[in-house]
Structures are given as C-alpha cells and as structure tokens.
Amino acid sequence: MRLSVFASASVAAFVGFGGTLALIIAAAQALGATQAETASWVTALCLALAVSSAFLSWRYRMPVITAWSTPGLALIGASAGFTMPEAVGAFIVTAVAIILTGLIKPISALVSRIPASVASGMLAGILMSFVIGAAKTLPVDPVLVLPLVALFFIIRLFNPAMAVLTVLFAGIVFALAMNRVTELPAPELSTLTWISPVFHASAMIGLALPLYLVTMASQNLPGFAVLRASGYEPPTGACLQVTGLLSLLIAPFGAHTTNMAAISAALCAGPDAHPDAARRWMTGPAYGLCYLVFAIFGASLVALFAVLPVVLIVLIAGLALIAPFINAMVLALKVEDERLAAIVTFAVTASGITIGGIGSAFWALVAGLAVAALEHGKKTAGTSKQKQST
C-alpha cells in the first residue's frame, strides 16, 4: 500500500463527483424531482459506486473503477415530458437490459453492430444543448460567468481533469462573495427516498432505450478499453452483471445507471497509482471509500447546490460536457462513408422533437440507422456491379 494509491483514488473520485454533480441537479430538475428525491438519487449512486468499485477490484485484482452515466444524465436533462416515477421505470428497464447484456453474448454483439458514428452522433446531439446553455449564461450574469470561463480554460491548459472541479469550487466562493447566496443550508445526513416506478411505453422507448445505448457505447465500452490499454483483461460479463444489478437495486431510490468509468479508471490504472500493476487493484477500495463519504453527505451537497445561482449550475454542467461533446463529434465524423448518417442522427437529436410522446433520441437512432442502411446498400450494390464487370 502506498500513499499514491489513495492520492490517485481521491483525485479520480473528486473529479468524477464534483465535475458532474451539477448534471444530476439538472437532470432531476428536468424530471420535476424534489430536493429529497434528488438527494436520494445522489446518495444511492454513491453507495452503488462504492460497493461495485471495491468489490470488483478486490474480486478480480485489477482497478475496476465504476461511475455514473454522464451521457445518461445529459440525455435525461435534455428530455422533456417525463415524470420522476416514469424515469424510475425507465431506469429499471435499463438496468435489466445491462444485466442481460452481461449474461447473453448475442445481445452485446447486436449492440456492437450499431455504427459508432450513429451512436456518437446521438450523443453529440444530446450534449450540444448543455454546451450551448453554458454559452447563454454569459449575457445573463457576465460578472459571475466571465471569470469562471477564463479560469476554466486557463486551468485546462495544465490539467484538464481538474478544470471543472476548480470552476465548481471557485464558483461557490464567487457566489458567496458576491452575495448571490442568501443563506447556507444546515448540514444534514443523507437518506434514501423510495419512488414507485411507472412503466410508460413512451418512457421505455424515448428514455430507457437511448439511456441503455449511450451507457453501453459511451461509458462501458471506453471503460473496458482503458483497462485493456493498461494491460488488464477485464471480465466484461461480470462487470456488466454487477453494475446492472446495483443499478436495478438503486433505481427505486431515483438513481439512474452505474457503469464502467473511463477517465476515473485512467487515473487509477496507470503507474502513477502504483508502480506494480498487480497492486493497483487497491485503488478500487480506496475510491469506494471516497464515494462512501460522498454518500453520507450527499443530502448536504444537494442542499448547497439548491441555493446556488441557476446560472452557475448551467455553466458548470455545460463546461463539464465540452470534452465529451468534442470526442463524440470526432467519433461521429471519423468514418467518411458514415458521416451523412451521423449528421442526420445529430440533427434529429439536437432538434428535441417529440413524436407520439417519444423523444428525439429514439427518432434520431431510427433515422441514423435508416440512412446508414441505405448508404451500406448503395456501397454493396456498387461493389457487386464492379465484380460482375471484371
């Protein structure tokens, strides 16, 4: 055991938690959640991450780090017309789908056949509204926003992972110094709030299916890739089963999906965490301990965010999603033959249209796959004619 193990795990936990907590607040507000339900959401997620990271790392002796689905939060926050009970029903269905993916290989093979350009186009369309939302905060409160934006880009030059976290702490300090916060909430211990699920067809198609797809494509697959790049061979089936089961258990308490981490895993799986690759698994329990602390004080943190200026929450959420947005756009346009399908998917998602009570993410997936199928058919037909002529 080395101090570097705790240092790496703590940085990963603080970056993952502090950098995206504003997204949970935004998603909860979009669903009309109460403060108690939002606190329960945060608490349940933190407990699930603590258990999954500690158990999987100990069981398989590798730094298996888990996180909540950041693209999933963006999807929820960008959705409209869903209630909290309907979202809980969608979370349950998503969790079951992830469990089945870990148990049945043909399902994971089917998901992997979805073109990365289409999945990335859908994700980019979801994230765009948050990035634009951050830009729109500038004329609303330039005195608060401008220094924070400048701080973000300056810190990002030296340490991209810490940029959002720095803006979060600086924003709280600025808001207090400028008297934008009238009264600080009293500290309180976290509690869990049961929310009975409602299984509505439009929520299953418009929320559960896109949430499952973005979680698999944008979180689980990159998470496994990070571990493989660090010299480990992660047990994909077991990881999906454990994270899916824990997602199923916490869903009635308002929490969405848990999954494999990518950025946090990179911080815990490298030589900076421990020079001996066989001992880096200890970052998992240390990371889990951090999230256990976050779970205890989750209600206080949500109460603090509730009294912060709305502009600050929107700004932090948008800044936190700039890097994922850039990555999604790069992947969407990477393959030249699939760019049209990617752009169609992106445009339909970003439009925010709702047809038959089903949101734009689903229709974007349908449109993107249809265009991709047409392009593939054209290419296949051209290849066949070329072979016949020769």
Closest by CA position to 58, among listed 308, 286, 326: 286
Would you call 7 exposed, middle or buried from its count of C-beta atoms within 10 A (0-12, 13-18, 19+)? middle
Question: In this predicted structure, what is the pLDDT of residue 383?
Answer: 65
The Cα-based distances of 354 to 77, 292, 348, 349 in angstroms read: 15, 39, 10, 10
Question: In this predicted structure, what is the pLDDT of residue 1?
Answer: 60
Question: In this predicted structure, what is the pLDDT of residue 390?
Answer: 62
Question: In this predicted structure, what is the pLDDT of residue 370?
Answer: 92
CB atoms near residue 20 (< 10 Å): 24
Structure tokens at 78: 């960008």
DSSP string for residues in 329-353: HHHHTSSGGGHHHHHHHHHHHHHT-
Domain-located, residue 179 = yes
Structure tokens at 380: 């296949």
Question: In this predicted structure, what is the pLDDT of residue 388?
Answer: 66
Domain-located, residue 188 = yes
Question: In this predicted structure, what is the pLDDT of residue 343?
Answer: 94
Question: In this predicted structure, what is the pLDDT of residue 386?
Answer: 66
Structure tokens at 91: 């979370």
Count how many residues are written for the chain: 390
Domain-located, residue 362 = no
Would you call 151 exposed, middle or buried from its count of C-beta atoms within 10 A (0-12, 13-18, 19+)? middle
Domain-located, residue 349 = no
Question: In this predicted structure, what is the pLDDT of residue 375?
Answer: 83
Question: In this predicted structure, what is the pLDDT of residue 136?
Answer: 93
Question: In this predicted structure, what is the pLDDT of residue 37?
Answer: 94
| Helix runs in 33-159, H state only | 35-60, 70-78, 84-103, 105-112, 116-140, 142-158
Domain-located, residue 52 = yes
Question: In this predicted structure, what is the pLDDT of residue 244?
Answer: 95
Question: In this predicted structure, what is the pLDDT of residue 83?
Answer: 93
Between strands 66-68 and 258-260, the pairing is antiparallel
Closest by CA position to 321, among listed 134, 80, 78: 134
Say if residues 229 and 141 touch (Cβ distance below 8 Å): no
Q: What is the dihedral of CA 295, 196, 74, 245, to 10 degrees?
A: 60
Question: Does this model's pTM top 0.85?
Answer: no
Question: In this predicted structure, what is the pLDDT of residue 139?
Answer: 92
Domain-located, residue 372 = no
Say if residues 227 and 75 touch (Cβ distance below 8 Å): no
Count of domains for the chain: 1
Question: In this predicted structure, what is the pLDDT of residue 243?
Answer: 95
Say if residues 5 and 273 touch (Cβ distance below 8 Å): yes
The whole-angstrom separation of Cα 230 and Cα 252 is 35
Provide the residue range defining the domain that includes 213.
Answer: 3-336
Domain-located, residue 386 = no
Question: In this predicted structure, what is the pLDDT of residue 242?
Answer: 95
Closest by CA position to 379, among listed 331, 342, 330, 338: 338
Instruction: Report residues of the chain scoring pLDDT below 50.
Output: none
How do residues 309-349 score in pLDDT, each as one tens digit?
888 888 988 888 888 788 888 888 988 888 999 999 999 98
DSSP string for residues in 169-220: HHHHHHHHHTT--S-PPPP-------------HHHIIIIIHHHHHHHIIIII
Q: Half-sphere exposure of residue 96, counting CA atoms within 13 Å on the CB side?
A: 9
Domain-located, residue 384 = no
